[in-house]
C-alpha cells in the first residue's frame, strides 16, 4: 500500500534528474525498481488498511484485492508511515483512530490471525496510538533507531519478550545490502520537526526553482498547508 506520488511526480519533473526512480539516501539504490504496489492513490485509505490486516478480501475496494491471509502460526510485520496527531494517523484518504486500530488488532488476536505481530508506526504523535491502549504488544533494532533519530521520540509498547527474537523472523530472511553509517553521515546539517518537513521542503524548492509556472504551483501548495494549520 503506497500512494505512489513521488517517482513520477509531475510538479517536480523539471527538477527530477531520475524520473521513475526512488531513493532514500544519496548514492543509494533505486528502491522503485521491482517494487510491487497492491494499493495506490485513492485505494490507500483506512478502510482498506483495516480490511487488509483482517484478511477481509470482500471488504477492500480498488487495488488488486490482496489481503493478509494469515493463520495462528504466522508472524506478521506491519510498517506504517504518514502524518499523525494525538489519537489518529492520516491517510491520503481519511483518518484512522486509535480506537479503530485497537479494535482491528484485538479482532485479529481473538480470531487467531497471527502468532506474533510487530507494528512499526512512524508519524507525529504515533505513541498515542498505542500508549495505554494495547493490552500487551525487537531490541537491537529498536535501540539503533532510537539512537539515530533526531527531534522525535522512539518508543515501543506491548509484549516486549519478542524483542529478543531475530528481526528476520518478521521482516524476511532475504539478505540485504547494509551500508555502514559514518559519523559524518549521522551529523544533522539541517533538522526540522517532521511535521514541518513538507512545508520547509516546498519553501526551499520555491527559492531554487527557475520555472515561474512551477514556482506559482509551489506557492499554492504552501498556502494550502498554512490554511490547514
Q: What is the mean pLDDT of residues 23-34?
A: 90
Comparison of pLDDT for 217 and 162, the residue scoring more:
217
Comparison of pLDDT for 159 and 51, the residue scoring more:
51
Which segment of 72-76, 189-193, 223-227 scores lowest on mean pLDDT?
Answer: 189-193
Residues 6+ apart with CB under 8 A from 17: none
pLDDT of 138 over the 50 cut: no
Q: Map grid coordinates 521542503 to a residue.
A: 201
| pLDDT confidence tier of residue 196, bands split at 50, 70 and 90 | confident
Residues 6+ apart with CB under 8 A from 127: 153, 155, 157
Span 162-171, pLDDT tens digits: 666 665 556 6
Q: What is the model's pLDDT at position 37?
A: 97
| Other Cβ atoms closer than 10 A to 176 | 9
Q: What is the model's pLDDT at position 165?
A: 60
Comparison of pLDDT for 91 and 179, the residue scoring more:
91
> Three cell numbers at 151?
527531534
Comparison of pLDDT for 207 and 77, the residue scoring more:
77
pLDDT of 17 over the 70 cut: yes
- The catalytic residue among 8, 27, 46, 83 is 83
Q: Is 153 one of the annotated active-site residues of the chain?
A: no
β-bridge pairing 88-90 and 84-85: antiparallel
Between CA 32 and CA 83 the distance in angstroms is 22
Between CA 229 and CA 214 the distance in angstroms is 23
Which segment of 50-59, 78-87, 153-162, 220-229 scores lowest on mean pLDDT?
Answer: 153-162
Could you tell me if 96 and 84 are in contact, meaning their C-beta atoms sit under 8 angstroms apart?
no
Domain locations in the chain?
Answer: 190-228
- Looking at every residue in the chain, the average pLDDT score rounds to 80
SS3 115: coil
Amino acid at each position: 500500500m503506497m500512494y505512489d506520488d513521488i517517482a513520477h511526480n509531475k510538479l517536480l519533473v523539471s527538477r527530477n534528474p531520475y524520473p521513475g526512480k526512488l531513493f532514500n539516501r544519496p548514492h543509494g539504490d533505486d528502491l522503485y525498481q521491482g517494487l510491487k504496489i497492491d494499493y495506490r492513490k485513492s485505494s490507500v485509505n483506512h478502510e482498506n488498511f483495516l480490511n487488509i490486516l483482517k484478511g477481509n478480501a470482500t471488504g477492500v475496494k480498488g487495488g488488486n484485492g490482496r489481503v493478509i491471509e494469515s493463520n495462528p502460526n504466522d508472524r506478521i510485520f506491519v510498517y506504517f508511515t504518514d502524518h499523525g496527531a494525538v489519537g489518529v494517523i492520516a491517510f491520503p484518504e481519511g483518518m484512522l483512530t486509535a480506537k479503530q486500530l485497537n479494535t482491528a488488532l484485538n479482532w485479529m488476536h481473538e480470531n487467531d490471525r497471527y502468532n506474533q505481530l510487530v507494528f512499526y508506526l512512524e508519524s507525529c504523535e504515533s505513541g498515542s496510538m498505542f500508549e495505554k491502549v494495547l493490552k500487551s504488544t525487537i531490541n537491537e533494532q529498536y535501540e539503533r533507531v532510537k539512537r539515530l533519530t533526531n527531534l522525535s521520540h522512539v518508543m515501543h509498547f506491548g509484549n516486549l519478550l519478542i524483542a529478543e527474537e531475530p528481526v528476520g523472523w518478521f521482516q524476511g530472511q532475504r539478505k540485504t545490502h547494509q551500508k555502514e553509517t559514518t559519523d559524518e553521515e549521522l551529523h544533522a546539517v539541517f533538522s526540522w520537526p517532521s511535521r514541518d518537513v513538507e512545508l520547509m521542503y516546498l519553501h526551499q524548492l520555491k527559492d531554487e526553482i527557475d520555472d515561474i509556472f512551477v514556482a506559482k504551483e509551489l506557492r499554492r501548495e504552501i498556502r494550502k498547508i498554512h490554511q490547514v494549520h
